[in-house]
Structure 1
C-alpha cells in the first residue's frame, strides 16, 4: 500500500477505528498524491516568477489561450476563471461559500465539526464517490422501497453491494422509521450498513416531520449501539424545497457526531437547489469527526476525483460562485420557490377535490419536484403508454401501480388539464383501450 494511503488510514484508525473499518478496499488504498505533477505545479505557481513550464494548459500573452468565438459569449468573466483547470477538490472560494451557506441553512450544524465541502460533478458523482470509498461486494445499502433507480447502478452494479429495502411509509402514511430500524438491526452479523436518506425523496416528494426525523436518528443510534458501523448519507439533492410543516433542514446536522460508529456524509449540490441542472456542480461533506480525520477523508475523496475525472468543470463553478455572492441571489431564489410551492399546492388541491373519483390514491408529498399516484385498478405502464400515445403526455411508471408526475416542469395553469388527461387515460385503460 502506498505510504500516503497508509498514513491517512493510520490517522483514521487512531482517532476513530470504526470509521477506518467502514472504508472499502478501494477506500483504504486511495490517496491524493503529494509528490508529482499536481504538487510540483502548485510549488511552481508560487515560486516560478520567470517561466512556469509545468502547467498542462496553453497560454498567450500571460492568460489562458482561448478562442474568441467562445470568449465573446463569456465576456463577463476573466479567462483565468473559465479556461484553467479547477483544483481536484474544487475552487477554494466556492467550497468556503458553500460551507457558509450550509451553516446558515442548517442551524443544527452550529458547533459541529464538518469538513470543507469537496466539489463533485453533481449529485450522482458524489454518491459514486461514497460508493467507491465505503461499499464493497456484499455490503448492505439500506434504502426505502421507493427510491431513485440510480442508487442501484451506483452501489449494486458498480460496487457489488446488496440493496436492502424497507417500506417507505408505515400504516399511518408517515415515514417508516421502524422499517429502517429493522433493516439496520438485521445487519448485526455483517457489522456494517450504508444508509441513504433522500429528503425530499425522489419519487414521492416526501420529507418527514420533526418527530419522524427524531425517530430516524434514534434508529441509527440504536444500530450503532448494537455494534453496527453505519455510514449514513443524506442525499440532499432537492434541499430547500420544503412546502409544508416538515423538517426544514438536513438530518446531516443531527447525525454528525451522533455516535462513534456513525459516519455522517452530506451529498448536495447546486443542480436542483439553484436550478442549474446542466452545470453539474455538487458537493460532498463529512461531519462529526476530529479535524485530522475529516482532512483524511477529504484527501481520499479528492484522490478518487483525481483518479476518475481529474477535476470538475471550472466555468460552472465560477458561475455558481458569482451567483451565491450576488445580493440578488436570495430574492431570485425565493421567487422560484414560490412558483414551485404554488404548483405543489395546486396539485394537492386538485387531488383532494374529489373530481377524479376513486381511480387512485396518492402518496403523501410536501416537498421537492415530484408526487406519485397509486393507481387502484389498472397498471401504471399501460396508463403511461396511453398518455403518451393518445394524449401526448409524459409521466413515469414505477412498478405496477405507481405513476410519478413531475409538477416541477408544468406551469400551474396547466396542472388541471394534465391531471384531467391522466384521469381520462386511466378510464381508457380500465375500459380496455390500449
Structure 2
C-alpha cells in the first residue's frame, strides 16, 4: 500500500503552530491535523485589500466589489428593505474574523454577563455563521477521524452530523440525569471523565440543554467545573466546548446563570475552554445567522490567542469567506440600542411564563401513567419520558389524530418546544399527548 505524502505546511501555519506550541504545548497537542495545517492568508487578497483600504488614497483597485458614488453599488429594489443601514453596512464584505466593532461589543457583553471571568485574558470573539457553524469550526480545528468527543445522552443531533458524520470523530455519551430524574448526573459525568484519564478529549457542555431544557444549579455547576479540573490535573488534555446557544433563558433562581466558560477559561493549562454563543436565540434573530467563537485557557497569552484566531479565521475564509454583513450590522446596532436589555428581558419573561404553565400541565397526576418528566428550568424545550410505547409512535399519532407537532428523540423522549406555544395552547398539547400515548399502547 502506497503511503500518501503529507502536505507541506504553509510557513504561516508553521509560524502559528510554533507560537501555540511555545505558549501552551497542550493546546498544540489538542489541534487536529487539519487544525495544524490551517492559517489565515496574511498576505492574501483580503490582507492586501485591507492594507489598501488604509493607504490607497488615490484609487483602490483591490476589492472584489463594484462601487458607485463612493459606496458599494446596489439595487434600490434591495435597498428599500434595509432601513437605518448605510450601503457599506449592507452590501460590503465583512472581514473573515467579523466586524471589529461587533467583536469588541460582543466581548464586552460576555464580560458584563460573566463576572467570574474577572481579568482573565481570552481571545476576541470571532464571528461565525451562527452556532452550527461554530461547532463545525471547532470540529475542524480539534477533531481528527477516530478522536473522541463526550456529550450527554440528551444532545442536539447536529453534534452527530457535524462531528461524527462529517469528520469521522466518535461521540460517547453519559446519562444526563440521575436515575430519579432530580438533576444532573454528576456521578455519570465524573466516571466518564475518569475512565478517559490521560487522553485527548473534547467535552461538550450545552446549558441550557437542548432537548431537555435543563441548566445545572449553582452547586452542580461548581461540581462540573471541579470534575473537569481534576481530569486536567490527572493528565487528560481537554477541549471543553461551552455551547451557550440558549444563554439567558433562565427561569429558576437556582440555575447557574453565568456561562461555565467564565471559570473554565482560567481553570487549568490542560483545559482549553471554547465558548460558542450568538445572537440567534439571545436576540431572537434566528435567520440572521450571527454567532461567535471565543477561546480561553489558564495562562493564555495574546500571542496564543492571536494564533488560534488566525487558524479560525483561515477556516472561515476557506469555507464561507465571511459572515453576512447586514446580519452583523443589525446585531451590532441592537447591542448598542438603549432598549436592548429591556426588550430582551420582556421576551424572556414571556418564555418564563410559558415554562411555568408547562411545568404545571405536564406534571398533572392524571398523566402519571403516560410519562415521567425530565427536569427543566431554562431554554426553549422540555422532554417527556414516554411510558409503554415508542416516542416516534406517539409523535405520529399526536400529529395525525390531534394536529399537534412534537419531536421524538431516541426510544422514549418526546420534546415539546413551549417557546413556540401560547399559554392557552399548552394544556391542550399535553392532554392530546396523553391521549396519543394511551391510544398507542
Interval of TM-score (by shorter of Structure 1 and Structure 2): over 0.9
Matched, 1:66 2:74: yes
Q: Of the candidates 150, 154, 165, which is equivalent to residue 146 of structure 1?
A: 154
Deviation at 1:188, TM superposition (A): 3.2
For the 8 Å contact 2:91–2:326, the answer to whether it is kept is yes
Aligned residues: 429
Q: Which residue of 2 aligns with 1:35?
A: 43
Unaligned 5+ residue runs, structure 2? 1-8
Residue deviations 1:400-420 (CA, integer Å, cap 9, x gap): 211000000001111111111
Q: Which residue of 1 aligns with 2:278?
A: 269
Paired with 1:176 and 1:197, the residues of 2 have a C-alpha distance of: 13
Q: Of the candidates 293, 296, 300, which is equivalent to residue 287 of structure 1?
A: 296
Q: Which residue of 2 aligns with 1:97?
A: 105
SS of residue in 2 equivalent to 1:231: strand
Quick check: 143-152 or 68-77, which moved more?
68-77
SS of residue in 2 equivalent to 1:312: coil
For the 8 Å contact 1:123–1:267, the answer to whether it is kept is yes
Deviation at 1:250, TM superposition (A): 0.5
For the 8 Å contact 1:167–1:176, the answer to whether it is kept is yes
Which runs of structure 2 are paired with 1:289-368 in the superposition (5 Å)? Answer: 289-368=300-379
Residue deviations 1:265-323 (CA, integer Å, cap 9, x gap): 00000001111111000000001311110111111100110110000000000011111
Which runs of structure 2 are paired with 1:105-116 in the superposition (5 Å)? Answer: 105-116=113-124
Q: Which residue of 2 aligns with 1:184?
A: 193
For the 8 Å contact 1:376–1:401, the answer to whether it is kept is yes
Deviation at 1:347, TM superposition (A): 0.5
Residue deviations 1:89-145 (CA, integer Å, cap 9, x gap): 111111111111111111111111111100000000000010000001111100011
Paired with 1:280 and 1:357, the residues of 2 have a C-alpha distance of: 40
Matched, 1:169 2:180: no
Q: Which residue of 1 aligns with 2:391?
A: 380
Find runs of 4+ consecutive structure 1 residues off by over 3 angstroms: none
Paired with 1:356 and 1:138, the residues of 2 have a C-alpha distance of: 43
For the 8 Å contact 2:136–2:162, the answer to whether it is kept is yes
For the 8 Å contact 1:178–1:219, the answer to whether it is kept is no
Q: Which residue of 2 aligns with 1:122?
A: 130
Q: Of the candidates 407, 423, 427, which is equivalent to residue 416 of structure 1?
A: 427
Q: Output the TM-score relative to the length of structure 2.
A: 0.96
Matched, 1:257 2:266: yes
Tell me the C-alpha RMSD between the 2 structures. Answer: 1.1
For the 8 Å contact 2:363–2:373, the answer to whether it is kept is no
Deviation at 1:351, TM superposition (A): 2.3
Unaligned 5+ residue runs, structure 1? none
Matched, 1:371 2:371: no
Q: Of the candidates 248, 266, 271, which is equivalent to residue 240 of structure 1?
A: 248
Residue deviations 1:209-236 (CA, integer Å, cap 9, x gap): 1111111111111211111100000000
For the 8 Å contact 2:111–2:117, the answer to whether it is kept is yes
Matched, 1:196 2:204: yes
Matched, 1:48 2:56: yes
Paired with 1:270 and 1:302, the residues of 2 have a C-alpha distance of: 19
Q: Which residue of 1 aligns with 2:20?
A: 12
Q: Which residue of 1 aligns with 2:405?
A: 394
For the 8 Å contact 1:140–1:187, the answer to whether it is kept is no
Paired with 2:211 and 2:71, the residues of 1 have a C-alpha distance of: 46
Q: Of the candidates 76, 83, 96, which is equivalent to residue 91 of structure 2?
A: 83
Paired with 1:180 and 1:353, the residues of 2 have a C-alpha distance of: 31
Paired with 1:390 and 1:82, the residues of 2 have a C-alpha distance of: 46
Paired with 2:329 and 2:71, the residues of 1 have a C-alpha distance of: 17
Q: Of the candidates 127, 132, 135, which is equivalent to residue 143 of structure 2?
A: 135
For the 8 Å contact 2:130–2:280, the answer to whether it is kept is yes
For the 8 Å contact 2:19–2:307, the answer to whether it is kept is yes
